[in-house]
Homo-oligomer: A and B are copies of this chain.
Amino acid sequence: MTTPLSSWAEGTAKTTILQFVERVTDADGSEFVPPEGRIATFDNDGTLWCEQPLQTQFFFGRDQLQKMAAEDPGLKERQPYKAFLEHDIGAIKQLGKQAFFEVASAAHAGMTEDEFHVHARDWLVHAQNPAKGRRFVDLVYRPQLELMEHLRQNGFRVFIVSGGGIDLIRAFSEEVYGIARSQVVGSSVRTRMEVCNGKVDLLKLAELQSFDDREAKVQNIALHIGRRPIFAFGNSDGDLAMLRYALSGSGLRLALLLHHDDGEREFAYDREFAISPLAEALDRAEELGITVVSFKNDWRDVFAEQRSFREDELSAARPAIQR
């Protein structure tokens, strides 16, 4: 990339990011961080791609529940499935974020890891965001793809730390974000190992293992990454613990918060989004030293169409994945 962050408008956010990267990579500077310490973590829903009208996880789970309801019509009458099947936003928001994830992911219980991966890719190749009339994978933010690339170019190891399902993100993270599956951290369900005809497989269960939100993001960063990030980017109160964790280490640190204030090009929301609101983090950003990024003012360009994620190209050449 010749000009870094070309989709970012000139301003405080862009300048802050570029100066941060310069300072931690300047081997002669007092704020130099060796490559192994250059850990960057990004939330996914609402930070790397669109999360309105609801997170992609919901539509993925709902479509699977619809298949199940065709076999078992009784499902249509049982909550919380009823709410999902009728796209009853009010009832869904009543569930709360964790139960929301549990229902969405339980729909895939019984699949092996390999079956789930194929199923998720088949779904992602076609599935569209109803509010935008575009595929979910085409609603990733171009400025963030540029930012992650700029960080990688400067020796950072970039991770996703999401409340969404870890295996759903892994089904597109390599082609779409250039992020290896092993650098994706997310919510997960328990699995059971089975030996069938001498073949060892893992079966997904309906039981939640980790809901990767708030404090759990910090705990899962320690478990999966084993280092405190020096750079963290989120967009909701669910990311506040991760941002504060990054800022709590010694040396230079950068924590960013995306504010969705662009009703024209995307969506304008914060406090009222019940599934994943932005309130405390926004109110305390200045006090805590978190840089707020305005979707409307800091981003010149918004979405990046994923030419690399077509059915006929799923196993074809793809952008370089960070090794």
Where the two chains meet, the residues of A that have a C-beta atom closer than 8 Å to any C-beta of B are: 35-36, 39, 113-114, 155, 157, 159, 166-167, 170, 174, 180-184, 188, 191, 193, 195, 198-202, 209, 215, 218-219, 222-228, 241, 244-245, 247-248, 321-323
Interface pair A166/B321, CB less than 8 Å apart: no
Interface pair A218/B202, CB less than 8 Å apart: yes
| A118, chain B: closest CB distance, angstroms | 12
Number of copies: 2
Residues of B within 8 A of A183 (CB): 182
Residues of B within 8 A of A166 (CB): 223, 226
Contacts A227-B181, A323-B322 given; does A219 touch B199 at CB 8 Å: no
Interface pair A321/B36, CB less than 8 Å apart: yes
- With A157-B182, A157-B323, A199-B248 already in contact, 20 other A-B pairs whose C-beta atoms are closer than 8 Å: A35-B323, A36-B174, A39-B182, A113-B228, A155-B323, A157-B180, A166-B223, A166-B226, A167-B226, A181-B225, A182-B224, A184-B226, A193-B219, A193-B245, A200-B241, A200-B244, A200-B245, A200-B248, A202-B222, A209-B223
A219 to B203, CA, bound (A): 10
| A109, chain B: closest CB distance, angstroms | 15
A198 to B290, CA, bound (A): 14
Interface pair B219/A191, CB less than 8 Å apart: yes
A245 to B199, CA, bound (A): 7
| A258, chain B: closest CB distance, angstroms | 20
Contacts A201-B248, A226-B170 given; does A180 touch B215 at CB 8 Å: no
Nearest B-chain residue to A167, judged by Cβ: B226
Of B157, B159, B180, B215, the residue contacting A36 (CB under 8 A) is: B180
| A40, chain B: closest CB distance, angstroms | 12
Contacts A193-B219, A321-B36, A323-B323 given; does A181 touch B248 at CB 8 Å: no
Residues of B within 8 A of A201 (CB): 248
A133 to B2, CA, bound (A): 55
A224 to B114, CA, bound (A): 15
| A70, chain B: closest CB distance, angstroms | 29
Interface pair B241/A193, CB less than 8 Å apart: yes
| A173, chain B: closest CB distance, angstroms | 9
Interface pair B226/A182, CB less than 8 Å apart: yes
Residues of B within 8 A of A188 (CB): 223
Nearest B-chain residue to A244, judged by Cβ: B200
17 contacts across the A-B interface (CB closer than 8 A): A36-B174, A36-B321, A113-B228, A157-B180, A157-B182, A157-B323, A159-B182, A170-B226, A182-B225, A188-B223, A191-B222, A198-B248, A200-B244, A202-B219, A209-B223, A322-B323, A323-B323
Residues of B within 8 A of A157 (CB): 180, 182, 323
| A187, chain B: closest CB distance, angstroms | 11
Nearest B-chain residue to A191, judged by Cβ: B219
A183 to B182, CA, bound (A): 8
Q: Which of A155, A200, A322 has the most CB of B within 10 A?
A: A200
A58 to B73, CA, bound (A): 56
A209 to B191, CA, bound (A): 15
A193 to B39, CA, bound (A): 20
